[in-house]
Amino acid sequence: MRQVLYLSTLLSTFFLFCSAQPTYFSVPPTDAPALASRGTYSVGVRTLQLVHHGQVDILHFDKSTGKAPLYDRPLTIEIWYPALIPSGQTESTTYQMAMPSGATFPIAGKALRDAPPTSSGPFPLVVVSHGYPGSRFFLSYLTENLASKGYVVAAIDHTDSVTGAVRGFQSTLLNRSVDQIFILSTLSALAGDPENFLHGLLDPSRTALVGYSMGGYGA
């Protein structure tokens, strides 16, 4: 009888959890400080896959020759921005946060995937650099919140430093600042392309860099 009651309680808790409203970490509770409140803009989010060509492959450094080959370094970034939410769609998404095992777990986000940007820009840029190891989603509570206040926010997945896909630390030491500068220059170029969604949305002349742990050191 106790086992049946215990199982019933577990199932009730599970279904209650599944039916509960998602917790949006970018929306602070009512007792949070005034400046923590979410801004007036709705938020869109997009993923960009970029390649930094001709980078030093320090992980294959040859001690006998004192040289390292070059390679094309892949970088994934997530961009949050002030957006319009079309009728019938919801300002919500799910981020897949990586774990050391390589598995992922979902985090609810208050942003619409690939939403059309608002026309009231251009907005300043904030580049976000995660710790070691980390993920471009680690500060999603902040990135969404900043976008709602009128910023374009670009968070980098630093290759070889991402949770679940970590490689030699020398790659992080060499590439952290290089990644940040590359993202800034690439987004600046995209903002100048009339065919890109960042055109008219992003003002790269006004840029801030946010980081924590290794991200702060790399800055």
pLDDT tens-digit map of 144-169: 999 999 999 999 999 999 999 999 99
Question: Residue 164 half-sphere exposure, CB side, CA atoms within 13 Å?
Answer: 12
Name the band, by pLDDT with cuts 50, 70 and 90, for residue 20. Answer: low
- Side by side, the strands of the sheet bearing 112-113 are 112-113, 42-56, 70-83, 152-157, 123-129, 202-211
Structure confidence at residue 218 (pLDDT): 59
| Cα–Cα distance, 197 to 110 (Å, whole number) | 20
pLDDT tens-digit map of 74-103: 999 999 999 999 999 999 999 998 888 888
pLDDT tens-digit map of 41-82: 999 999 999 999 999 999 999 999 999 999 999 999 999 999
| Cα–Cα distance, 183 to 44 (Å, whole number) | 19
Structure confidence at residue 22 (pLDDT): 77
Structure confidence at residue 196 (pLDDT): 97
- Average pLDDT value for the chain: 90
Q: Is residue 177 within 8 Å of residue 99, measured between CB atoms?
A: no
CA nearest neighbour of 164 among 106, 99, 89: 99
Lowest mean pLDDT among 4-8, 57-61, 101-105, 174-178: 4-8
Q: Which fold has domain 2-218?
A: Rossmann fold (3.40.50)
The pLDDT of 112-117, averaged and rounded, is 98
Tell me the domain boundaries of the chain.
2-218
* Full-model pTM: 0.88
Report the b/e string of 35-69 with b at 16+ CB within 10 A.
eeebbebbbbbbeeebebeebbebeeeeeeeeeee
Name the band, by pLDDT with cuts 50, 70 and 90, for residue 214. Answer: confident
Q: Is residue 154 within 8 Å of residue 125, measured between CB atoms?
A: yes
More confident residue, 119 or 20: 119
More confident residue, 213 or 112: 112
